Structure formats: structure tokens, C-alpha cells
Amino acid sequence: MIVIAGGGTGGHTSPGLAVAALLRVRGIDCAWIGSQRGLEARRAPEAGIRYHAIPTGKLRRGWAWQNVPDLFVNMPAGVVAAGRLLRELRPRVVFATGGFVALPVAIAARLARVPLVVHEQTAVPGLANRIAARLATRVVVTFADSARLFGGADVALTGNPLRPELRRGERQDAIARFSLDPMLPLVYVTGGAQGAHTINRAIGEILEPLLAHAQLIHQCGDNAATGDRAWLTERRACLPEHLAARYTPIPWVGDELAGIYAAASLIVSRAGAGT
């Protein structure tokens, strides 16, 4: 039994899904400990992984009043809940992918003397992984230069785990799924699971000239703070009907991503953990 812990964003969720898929192929059981409302709460069960949600608090570098309940109520409650789950599941290893929900599980693993592997997806680790690394049996990184940022930890370079099916996509799957025109080039726009505000606005401003030459699948996220998804939907509604049919704004791309990769002539993205 391996426990995967982490999430909140696609960058912290996708590596866990990739590792879980590989474990399943090798006949190794796994479970996921995550947050109640993070992306992983939907994606892990969709992948057939047993999912357990725990309370947790968010780590903030600056001062905010939310730090008080998060650090003194929610975080300790998360450690207790994670400890209870580890005693129940009895894993051989905890694989932590980062995000604020991974830290209470990392603390519980250290207290329970369960080996802890922390994976860092980005070049510069976040606060949760910086702390979790101090508790880890081993830290594994995507970029070689990241190793020096973890002090005296036992660090290994592994790269970022990718789901194997992403390499086996079929163009026809995307054409059928999104009603694409096989004669037009496809541009896939993605800013990661949460969307990228700058990319979203830039694409939204030039939809009409773009769609005169290509069709777009736009993974825009669903960030209430920016309102990008609603804004892009409004922009689409203002397009001529034949151009609107070429534009598909969607908040999140899941299993259909492999087909999109196979069909795309161009990808517009930014340097996130997964993208």
C-alpha cells in the first residue's frame, strides 16, 4: 500500500495520478489523502483511487488573519486526521506531491515513522514542500538545479511523472469529442488547471482573427477571482456563428488531453508545474 498526498492544483495532482497509474500496473494498491475541495478530490476518484479528505490550513508567507485558524486549528486537525488514516491504511510509503494539504500528511508520516518521499515539480519549491522536505526520507525533483534548494536532504533527480496514456493519444478522438473540423488546424491554449489570466485575456481579445484561420480548444480554468471563464463565454457569444463553432472554452481537461495533444498543430501555454 502506497499513500499519495497532495493536490489543490493540477501541478500537484497530475504527478500523483501518474504514479498511481504505474502502481496499479504493477499490482500495488494505493490511496489518496487530499483536501475536501481541491482538484484532487474529483480527479483521484475519477481515476478509481480510494480518496480520503482531511481538514487542512493553507500556508501563507505573509501575514493574514486566516493564518490564525489555519495554523492553530485546521492544520493540527489535519495532522490528527492524517495520522488516523495512516494507522488504518498502514502504507509502506507516503508519496507527497506538494500543496498545503500534503504537509499535515507529511507530519503524520514522520510521527508514525512511515517513510516519506516528497516530489517537487517546479524549479523553486513552495513553502509546503520546503517544510515537508525536512521530514522526508527522500526528496525527488524535476530539475537538477532544485537539489541545492533542499539543504541537506537526500535528493534524487527523477523528472516529473507523466501519465503514459498522454503519449498514446489519437487525433480522431479529439475530433469526435469536440466536433472539430479535420481540415482546420487546431490550437490548444492552456494555462494549467487554474487557468492563466494573462493568456486568457490575450486570447479573448484576438478571437475573431485567430478563428478565421484555426479552431481553438481553450482550457481557461474557472477562477472566480478573475472571472475569465464567464468573460470568454461572453466573447464567444458575440462571434459570428461559424466562428463561435470553432472556439471551445473549457475549465479543465482530463482524460481527453491525450487526444488533444495528438490533434493540435500548436499549443499556447506557460511554464507551470505540468504545462
Together in a domain, 133 and 172: no
Instruction: Name the grid cell of 32.
Output: 489518496
Does residue 274 lie within any of the structural domains? no
Note whether residue 27 is domain-resident.
Answer: yes
Residues 19 and 108 in one domain: yes
Residue 228 lies in a domain: yes
28 with 132, same domain: the answer is yes
Return the CATH number at 45: 3.40.50.2000
Specify whether the CB–CB gap between 106 and 136 falls below 8 A.
Answer: yes
Decide which of 140, 162, 184 is a domain's last residue: 162
pLDDT of 142 strictly over 80: yes
Q: Residues 148, 242: one domain? A: no
> pTM score, two decimals?
0.82
Please give the pLDDT value at position 176. 97
Q: In this structure, is residue 122 part of a structural domain?
A: yes
Query: Do residues 141 and 192 share a domain?
Result: no
Cβ partners under 8 Å of residue 274, min gap 6: 10, 11, 14, 15, 121, 160, 192, 193
Q: Does any domain span residue 273?
A: no
Same domain flag for 152 and 27: yes
Same domain, 173 and 158: no
Q: pLDDT tens digits, residue range 87-126?
A: 999 999 999 999 999 999 999 999 999 999 999 999 999 8
Are residues 226 and 135 part of one domain? no
CB 163 within 8 A of CB 16: no
In a domain, 121, yes or no: yes
Q: Are residues 133 and 187 in the same domain?
A: no
Q: How many domains does the chain have?
A: 2
Shared domain check, 185 and 145: no
pLDDT in tens, 152-195: 789 999 999 988 788 889 999 999 999 999 999 999 999 988 89
Strand order in the sheet with 215-219: 247-250, 215-219, 186-190, 266-268
Residues 8 and 115 in one domain: yes
- pLDDT surpassing 90 at residue 28: yes
d(CA 115, CA 117): 7
Give the range of the structural domain holding residue 189, as residue numbers without chain letter: 168-268
Confidence (pLDDT) at 23: 95
pLDDT, tens digit (0-9, with 9 covering 90-100), for 32-67: 999 998 889 999 999 999 999 998 866 655 555 565
Same domain, yes or no: 12 and 41:
yes
Give residue-wise pLDDT tens across range 207-235: 999 999 999 999 999 988 999 999 999 99
pLDDT at 214 (0 to 100): 98
